[in-house]
Chain A
Amino acid sequence: NAGVTQTPKFQVLKTGQSMTLQCAQDMNHEYMSWYRQDPGMGLRLIHYSVGAGITDQGEVPNGYNVSRSTTEDFPLRLLSAAPSQTSVYFCASSNRGQGVAGYTFGSGTRLTVV
């Protein structure tokens, strides 16, 4: 049981490049979400999904796209990377009704845009 797996762990992009951050969970969780962490700002919600085929925007969605074609996977796409997107990205999953310790986080992807 791997939990939530994020790849890659580290990435350097040039401004304007595109890439996809991968997130996969093997716990059959319905809910998945993406956060970015910046110093002094905590974790901010980018996008979230309540099930396959359903996604919605969080606090800071601009510059990011998501899709949820399967329960297991929730990739985050940067179409044209900008230096402001330099951050640490965390993916999380949880199951409906399991609020108690029900959130599982990946180990993070550290992205630098130069």
Chain B
Amino acid sequence: GEDVEQSLFLSVREGDSSVINCTYTDSSSTYLYWYKQEPGAGLQLLTYIFSNMDMKQDQRLTVLLNKKDKHLSLRIADTQTGDSAIYFCAESRQGGKLIFGQGTELSVKP
């Protein structure tokens, strides 16, 4: 999606924290999402944040939202090899549309 930007690659060591960043442009987005895609598979919703929240924590996942800078991040604590995948951020638009970033490929090294 041309309006949502992510870096393409991230490499971390097992046990470290991973931080995946995303910038978006539509300040009227109601929800922002993080999806995970494993090789050859479809999209799995990981977590979401409502636009009036600054932070959301869900087990090993922490989502931070900075509305002023239109910046969203996903932190994965204690990253495991099973977390290796492509992570997409997405913003909701009217009409049930989702606009996706390019995806960040997370590589976890043992």
Contact = CB atoms under 8 A, between A and B. Distances in A.
Contacts of B6: 42
A108 B42 contact: yes
Contacts of B103: 40, 42
Contacts of A108: 42
Contacts of A32: 96
B66 interface: no
Given A33-B98, A45-B98, A103-B98, A90 B30 contact: no
Given A40-B102, A99-B30, A100-B31, A33 B45 contact: no
A105 B101 CA distance: 17
Interface residues of B, number: 25
Contacts of B90: 43
Interface residues of A, number: 30
Given A90-B42, A100-B48, A42 B100 contact: yes
A107 B99 contact: no
A44 interface: yes
A48 B42 contact: no
A27 to B, nearest CB: 12
Interface string B1-41: 11010101000000000000000000000110100000000
A34 to B, nearest CB: 11
Given A59-B1, A106-B42, 7 more contacts: A40-B102, A42-B102, A45-B1, A56-B95, A93-B96, A101-B45, A101-B48
Top 5 A-B pairs ranked by shortest CB distance?
A: A31-B96, A99-B31, A42-B100, A43-B100, A42-B102
